[in-house]
Every structure is written in C-alpha cells, then in structure tokens.
C-alpha cells in the first residue's frame, strides 16, 4: 500500500473484507510513516461497499474569503457526487471542517447511510481533532467538530485518514472552484470539466512523488 501519512480507523461494528482485508474495530488505530526519500503518493480506491469522500477547504488569508469542495466516489473510483460553494469569510480550519460536514450531509441526503464511508483530507491537525474527539478552545471550531462527530455514527462505519495534497487534488480543485460560485453547487454523475483530469488520474492510480 502506498504511503499516505496517518491513517485512523473507526466504526461501531466489526466488518469483513474491506481495505486490504483488514478488520475495522471500535477504537482508533494510528499508523505513522516516516520518510526521508521522496514519497510516492496516489489516491486509493475504497473497498467494495464503501464510499470515499475527499474534502478540502480554501481560505485566502488567516480569515479571508473561504470556500469548500469535495467529491464522493465508489470502489470503482466512479464519480458519484461533487460539491463546491463559497462560505464567506473563514479561517482555513473552519473551511476544512465545513467541507467535511457538507460532504457527510450530502452522503446522507443521497441515501448512502447504509454504506461504510472513508473520509480523507489533507489537513492533518483537523483529522486528528476529529478522530481523537479533542476539545478545542474556539467555539466555532468546536461546534463544527461536534456536529461532524454526531453525523458519523449515522453510517455503518467509517475510516478517517490524512493524505498528502497530491492525492487530494480533485477536492482541492473543487474547493478553489467554490470561490467563483455565487451559490452552492452540487454535481451528480457528471463532474465539472475542471476536475476531470484529476479524477481520471486518480482512477488510474497515478503516482506523484512528493519531496519533503
């Protein structure tokens, strides 16, 4: 399996034959990967019965104009749904959380609550906050975190992972596209042209070498 930073697994029930035929349990498992050489990075398909959500937030400045975006795909790497929108002024952390929250809400609205869901973003600290259910001082951030943690149990189970930005390009592009939108946009079945190349390369398993 290609290295992609830190991976946490969490869910309410035990499952069979998912990613690499591993078992997912009711606690978090942390894997740390340390690299000195360039790291091969690629987007990974979820297992059968899983829906994968890649999400990202974009903020211009410490609390400037912000937007969100994300994409949901199945075990064949087929595009299911994409979304993007401007959310006004917000920090990068709020934008990342808003992107994750919106993706989860859309997954439920489209009837994928009976699926296992793999949540993947490139903001490592945010991922750690979610999976460790850490309390944060900022009330606005805590509000998003609490809401996200209340949605996750609606699915059969979940995996939450950090991935390098090179493997999160589709979500990153959608988040940046959100800056240009006057109202929230959701794409079903057919993604916007701006992300087609990234979706195809992800599906093909294109490897990008990241230098650290």
**3-state SS string for 22-89:** CCCCCCCCCECCCCCCCEEECCCCCCCCEEEEEEEEEECCCCCEEEEEEEEECCCCCEEEEEEEEEEE
Look at residue 55 and tell me if it is in a domain. yes
For residue 12, pLDDT beyond 80? no
Look at residue 115 and tell me if it is in a domain. yes
- The residue range of the domain holding 150 is 7-210
d(CA 144, CA 129): 11
> How many C-alpha atoms does 174 have within 13 Å on its Cβ side?
33
DSSP letter at 122 equals: S
Look at residue 1 and tell me if it is in a domain. no
Q: What is the pLDDT of residues 186-200, one digit of tens each?
A: 999 899 999 999 999
Look at residue 67 and tell me if it is in a domain. yes
Q: What is the pLDDT of residues 118-163, one digit of tens each?
A: 999 999 999 998 888 888 888 999 999 999 999 999 999 999 999 9
Q: What is the pLDDT of residues 79-99, one digit of tens each?
A: 999 999 999 999 999 999 999
Average pLDDT estimate for 165-175: 97
Q: Are strands 157-162 and 116-121 parallel, antiparallel or unpaired?
A: parallel
Q: What is the CATH number of the domain that holds 31?
A: 3.30.420.10
Look at residue 2 and tell me if it is in a domain. no
Domain count, the chain: 1
Look at residue 60 and tell me if it is in a domain. yes
Task: Identify the burial level of 208 via C-beta atoms within 10 angstroms of its C-beta, where 0-12 means exposed, 13-18 middle and 19 or more buried.
Answer: middle
What is the reported pLDDT for 131?
Answer: 82
Look at residue 142 and tell me if it is in a domain. yes
């Amino acid at each position: 399996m290609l290295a992609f930073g830190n991976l946490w697994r969490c869910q309410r029930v035990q499952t069979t034959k998912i990613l690499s035929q591993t078992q997912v349990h009711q606690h978090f498992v942390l894997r740390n990967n340390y690299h000195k050489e360039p790291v091969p990075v690629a987007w990974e398909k979820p297992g059968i019965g899983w829906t994968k959500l890649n999400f990202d937030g974009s903020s211009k400045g410490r609390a400037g104009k912000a937007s969100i975006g994300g994409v949901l795909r199945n075990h064949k790497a087929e595009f299911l749904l994409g979304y993007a929108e401007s959310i006004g002024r917000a920090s990068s952390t709020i934008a990342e959380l808003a992107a994750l929250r919106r993706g989860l809400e859309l997954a439920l609205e489209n009837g994928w609550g009976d699926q296992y869901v793999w949540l993947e973003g490139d903001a490592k600290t945010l991922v750690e906050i979610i999976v460790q259910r850490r309390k944060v001082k900022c009330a606005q951030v805590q509000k998003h975190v609490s809401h996200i943690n209340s949605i996750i149990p609606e699915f059969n189970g979940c995996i939450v992972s950090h991935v390098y930005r090179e493997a999160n390009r589709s979500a990153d592009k959608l988040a940046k596209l959100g800056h240009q939108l006057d109202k929230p946009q959701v794409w079903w079945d057919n993604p916007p042209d701006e992300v087609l190349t990234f979706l195809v390369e992800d599906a093909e398993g294109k490897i990008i070498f990241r230098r650290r």
